[in-house]
């Protein structure tokens, strides 16, 4: 047990705490000095970012800007060359080396949703959601199935649990993937272009689920090309280009009055079509 | 009728040698596959050399090497264990390549999702990658099994009493001549068709649900 009274970092969070976080400030996710290069090809250079607990951060920018790479570095799917990554209470300083136990904890605190869903095609929808709970959280099959049924119900997929993923539409598959990640009770959800592989109508179902999640106070980082979602749902907008964050702040502010010329060009291209 | 009885007497041995070799081959192929998957380093190199060496030497040569060349203490390997061992050894190299090919066909997103969900490496292999790779490998695997079924006849050279060996004996000691071998051939054809159709049915069942 942590003694809250004797820990100034924790006792500052007096009021109603929505999500349990031991972080010294309101940041749920914190990235400092993230850098990555493949040979001479610099993918990320000195990326720093903070995401407040319960907030939604949208990352936009042209293809190849490094948005997905930042997201994938957050749970170390991609290993950065240097930088500090912190999610909730777990932090990793890449240069100091990565301990397997530390890595496992960091990954546990972040749920990830991929562009291509990446559901396991040889398992039923229910098994897809239950198996990780059994393997990662050590839940019994019955406990896991109970959680899965609840989440699938919430995603509007109650009658799909015995189906196989490939029998489901793209929008359904992505919602299953969201349920699978949520079942592990992550502190933050990472979305890597969750609607890019879907046609617009089906994508809307997924965005609706994400909007609901956001309104329930889930901390979210979303790499997206959905400008309306970025403008209306996010609390913080991050614009990336050439491996750097070129603009970061209030989404409406940036959308209506972008400062960086690259942002102006990008927004003009995507909004005036 | 007498001829068919003699040929069928060899059937259990043929099936036994095939199954034994397949079992040993599969068991040896799994670590080899993992070694090949490393793609570099001393372990990869060792596995690569083993696979190429084992595939490069004719099965009959392996049979002679094991039968005449290997002894456990003062005891030489029996004809049966040398036969199963030689065929199993060769099978391991071919099966490792088959498994490696099927692993390649699995989308990298599967391993990535397993990692992102926090599954351990072991769990990722056992629950996610392995079952999918097995499905993909099944047709090539049974194809090899059918080939092995017939190749198992080479163990008759060292005197294992399977189908071909018994047929040869009968052919030499009776006036049935080549007819015995035609009969033996027919038995092999029936066996192959049975294995193939069984495999196709299994494959269809696995894919009906998944429908990739």
Residue A98 in 3-state DSSP?
coil
Distance of alpha carbon A270 from alpha carbon B106, whole angstroms: 35
CB contact under 8 Å between B113 and A77, yes or no, is no
What's the structural domain count of chain A? 1
Please indicate whether, in this complex, the C-beta atoms of B119 and A132 are within 8 angstroms of each other: yes
Residues A7 and A248: their CA atoms lie apart, in Å, by 32
**Does residue A125 belong to any structural domain of this protein?**
no
Pick A137 or B76 by higher pLDDT: A137
| Mean pLDDT for the stretch of residues A21-30 | 67
Which of A86, A28, A80 shows the shortest CA–CA distance to A57? A28
Q: Half-sphere exposure (CA, 13 Å, Cβ side) for A241? A: 13
Could you tell me the pLDDT band of residue B1, with boundaries at 50, 70 and 90?
Answer: confident
Residue A10 confidence (pLDDT): 39
Q: How confident is residue A5, by pLDDT bands cut at 50, 70 and 90?
A: very low
Q: Which tens digits make up the pLDDT trace of A151-188?
A: 999 999 989 999 999 989 999 999 999 999 999 999 99
Q: How high is the pLDDT of residue A71?
A: 94
Are B128 and A77 inside 8 Å of each other by CB?
A: no
SS3 A30: strand
Name the closest residue on chain B to residue A131, using Cα atoms: B127
In 3D space, the residue among A144, A65, A74, A128 whose CA is nearest the CA of residue A103 turns out to be A74
Tell me, yes or no, whether A218 lies in a domain.
Answer: yes
pLDDT confidence bin for B176, thresholds 50/70/90: confident
CA distance A79 to B117: 16
Residue A9 lies in a domain: no
Span A224-249, mean pLDDT?
Answer: 93
The closest of A156, A151, A157 to A129, measured between CA atoms, is A151
Domain carrying residue A224: 27-119+186-271
B140-162 average pLDDT score: 90
Burial of A263: CB neighbours in 10 Å, binned 0-12, 13-18, 19+:
buried
pLDDT value at residue B203: 84
Residue A270 CB: number of other CB atoms within 10 A? 13
pTM for this predicted structure: 0.82
Calculate the average pLDDT of chain A. 88
Can you give the pLDDT at residue B194?
A: 92
Per-chain mean pLDDT for chain B? 89
pLDDT for position A25: 57
- Whichever domain contains A106, its CATH number is 3.40.50.300
**Residue A38 counted as domain residue:** yes
pLDDT tens-place string over residues B21-60: 999 999 999 999 999 988 889 999 999 999 999 999 999 9
d(CA B88, CA B95): 10
Over residues B71-127, the pLDDT tens digits come to: 766 778 888 889 999 999 999 999 999 999 999 999 999 999 999 999 998 999 999
Q: What was the pLDDT predicted at B210?
A: 60
Tokens representing residue A246 in the block? 């070129």
Tell me the two tokens of residue A214: 């956001």
Residue A221 domain-assigned (yes or no):
yes
Q: Which DSSP helix (H) or strand (E) runs through B133?
A: helix B130-151
What are the φ/ψ torsions at residue B139 (nearest 5 degrees)? -60, -45
Q: How many CB atoms lie within 10 A of CB B111?
A: 18
- Does the pLDDT of residue A8 top 80, yes or no? no
Tokens of B192: 């192959």
Neighbouring residues of A22: CB distance < 8 A, sequence distance ≥ 6: A2, A9, A10, A88, A89
Q: Could you tell me how many residues make up chain A? A: 273
Q: Please answer whether residues A219 and A182 qualify as being in contact, where contact means their C-beta atoms are separated by less than 8 angstroms.
A: no
**Average confidence (pLDDT) over A64-78:** 93
Task: Give contacts of B110 with chain A, Cβ < 8 Å.
Answer: 118, 120
Which residues in chain B are contacts of A125 at CB distance < 8 A? none
Residues A79-109: pLDDT tens digits? Answer: 999 999 999 889 999 888 888 888 888 999 9
Contact B118, A109 (CB under 8 A): no
CB atoms within 10 A of CB B112: 18
Rounded CA-CA distance A269/A197 in Å is 21
Best mutation target among B102, B110, B112, B116 (most A Cβ atoms within 10 Å) is B116
Longest dimension (CA), chain B: 70
Average pLDDT of the segment spanning A66-77: 93
CA dist., res. B174 & res. A25, Å (int): 94
Q: Which of A110, A111, A80, A115 is nearest to A98 (CA)?
A: A80
Nearest residue to A108 via CA among A186, A18, A13? A186
Is residue A88 domain-resident? yes
Contact residues, chain A to chain B, C-beta under 8 Å: 75, 77, 104, 107-108, 110, 112, 114, 116, 118-122, 131-132, 135-136, 164, 166-167, 180-181, 184
How many whole angstroms from its chain centre is CA B200? 18
- Tell me the pLDDT band of B209, cut-offs 50, 70 and 90: low
CA distance B100 to B161: 35
Compare B70 and A80 and report the one with higher pLDDT: A80
Domain assignment present for A151 = no
Q: Is the pLDDT of residue A236 over 90?
A: yes
SS3 A266: helix
User: Would you call A184 and B131 a contact, using CB atoms and an 8 Å cutoff?
Assistant: no
- Residue A47 covered by a domain: yes
């Amino acid at each position: 047990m942590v003694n809250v009274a004797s820990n100034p970092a924790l006792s500052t969070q007096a009021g109603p705490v929505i999500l349990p976080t031991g972080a010294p400030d309101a940041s749920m996710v914190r990235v400092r000095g993230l850098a990555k290069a493949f040979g001479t090809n610099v993918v990320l250079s000195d990326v720093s970012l903070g995401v407040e607990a319960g907030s939604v951060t949208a990352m936009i920018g042209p293809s190849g800007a490094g948005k997905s790479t930042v997201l994938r570095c957050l749970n170390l799917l991609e290993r950065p060359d240097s930088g500090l990554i912190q999610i909730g209470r777990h932090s990793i300083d890449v240069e100091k080396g990565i301990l397997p136990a530390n890595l496992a904890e960091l990954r546990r605190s972040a749920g990830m949703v991929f562009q291509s869903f990446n559901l396991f095609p040889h398992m039923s929808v229910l098994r897809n959601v239950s198996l990780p709970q059994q393997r990662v959280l050590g839940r019994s099959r019955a406990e896991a199935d109970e959680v899965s049924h609840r989440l699938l119900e919430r995603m509007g997929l109650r009658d799909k649990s015995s189906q196989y993923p490939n029998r489901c539409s793209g929008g359904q598959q992505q919602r299953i993937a969201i349920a699978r990640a949520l079942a592990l009770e992550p502190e933050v959800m990472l979305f890597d272009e969750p609607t890019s592989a879907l046609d617009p109508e089906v994508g809307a179902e997924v965005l609706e689920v994400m909007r609901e999640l956001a309104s329930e106070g889930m901390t979210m980082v979303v790499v997206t090309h959905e400008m309306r979602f970025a403008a209306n749902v996010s609390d913080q907008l991050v614009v990336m280009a050439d491996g750097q964050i070129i603009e970061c702040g209030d989404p409406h502010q940036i959308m209506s009055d972008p400062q960086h010329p690259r942002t102006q060009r990008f927004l003009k291209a995507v909004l005036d079509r | 009728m007498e001829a068919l009885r003699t040929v069928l007497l060899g059937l259990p041995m043929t099936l036994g040698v095939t199954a034994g070799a397949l079992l040993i081959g599969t068991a040896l192929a799994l670590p080899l596959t993992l070694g090949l998957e490393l793609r570099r380093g001393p372990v990869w190199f060792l596995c690569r050399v083993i696979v190429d060496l084992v595939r490069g030497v004719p099965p009959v040569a392996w049979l002679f090497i094991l039968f005449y060349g290997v002894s456990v203490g003062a005891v030489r390997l029996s004809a049966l264990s040398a036969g199963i061992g030689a065929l199993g050894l060769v099978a391991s190299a071919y099966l490792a390549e088959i498994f490696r090919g099927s692993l390649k066909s699995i989308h990298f997103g599967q391993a990535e999702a397993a990692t992102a969900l926090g599954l351990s490496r072991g769990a990722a292999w056992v629950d996610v990658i392995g079952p999918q790779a097995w499905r993909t490998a099944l047709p090539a695997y049974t194809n090899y099994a059918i080939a092995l079924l017939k190749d198992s006849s080479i163990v008759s050279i060292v005197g294992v009493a399977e189908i071909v060996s018994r047929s040869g004996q009968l052919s030499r000691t009776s006036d049935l001549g080549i007819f015995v071998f035609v009969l033996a051939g027919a038995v092999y054809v029936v066996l192959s068709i049975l294995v193939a159709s069984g495999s196709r049915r299994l494959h269809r069942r696995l894919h009906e649900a998944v429908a990739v």
